[in-house]
Each structure stands twice: as structure tokens, then as C-alpha cells.
Amino acid sequence: MKVLQKTDEYTIYQKRSGRYAVEGADKKIINGDEKVSILIAAGVVKQAVAKPAPVEEPAVDEAPVEEAPAEAAPEEEAVAEEAPADETPAEAAPAESADEETK
């Protein structure tokens, strides 16, 4: 391990893997949030700043477009329900006339 910075309170090492180790004055390894704060304060690593998520607000024009398909859906269902009812008698009519012809 390579010594990067040494103070009275801690020693910062860089491992061969590129990661960092922080050793306290009592020769114990420091981990977790304390280690991160020491590395940031020493300038060894930079703190990542989270980008604020863009807030998407629907435009005024988009709101009615979303409502229109919801209203159209019941009409489509009504048409779909009527279509099989119309087809069933049409299919049954030729079958009945075929039965009558054979008699």
C-alpha cells in the first residue's frame, strides 16, 4: 500500500487495486461514513453530487388527449358487443336453410 497522506489523526493509503484505506492514530482501520468524510476532506476523492430528477408536468394540451381514449373505450366495447350478436344470426341462417333443403 502506498501512503498518500499522513496526519496526527489518520493515515490514508492507496491500495494496488486503486481503492483507499484509512488507518486511525490507534492503528485501527476506519470504515464507513467516517472513512468517506475523511477522504473527501483530504481531497483524495470527490463527493458525487446527485442530479435533481427533472419534474415532468403534463402540458395543458396533453390532459384532454388522455381523457379522450378513456371516453372512447366504452363506445368501442359497445360496438364489440354488438358485432358478435349480428354475426351469430347470419351464420345460423345459412345452416338452417341448408337443413331445410336436405329434408
Domain encompassing residue 82: 59-91
pLDDT at 96: 57
Count the neighbouring beta carbons within 10 Å of the beta carbon of residue 36.
Answer: 15
Say which residue the cell 476532506 belongs to. Answer: 41
Q: How many domains does the chain have?
A: 2
Please determine, for residue 31, whether its predicted confidence score (pLDDT) is greater than 80: yes
In a domain, 101, yes or no: no
pTM above threshold 0.75: no
pLDDT at 48: 72
pLDDT at 14: 92
Range 69-79 average pLDDT: 55
pLDDT at 6: 92
In a domain, 33, yes or no: yes
Range 44-61 average pLDDT: 73
Q: 49 pLDDT band (50/70/90 cuts)?
A: confident
CA atoms within 13 A on the CB side of 103: 6
Clarify whether residues 8 and 37 are in a common domain.
Answer: yes
* Dist CA 81 CA 100 (whole Å): 30
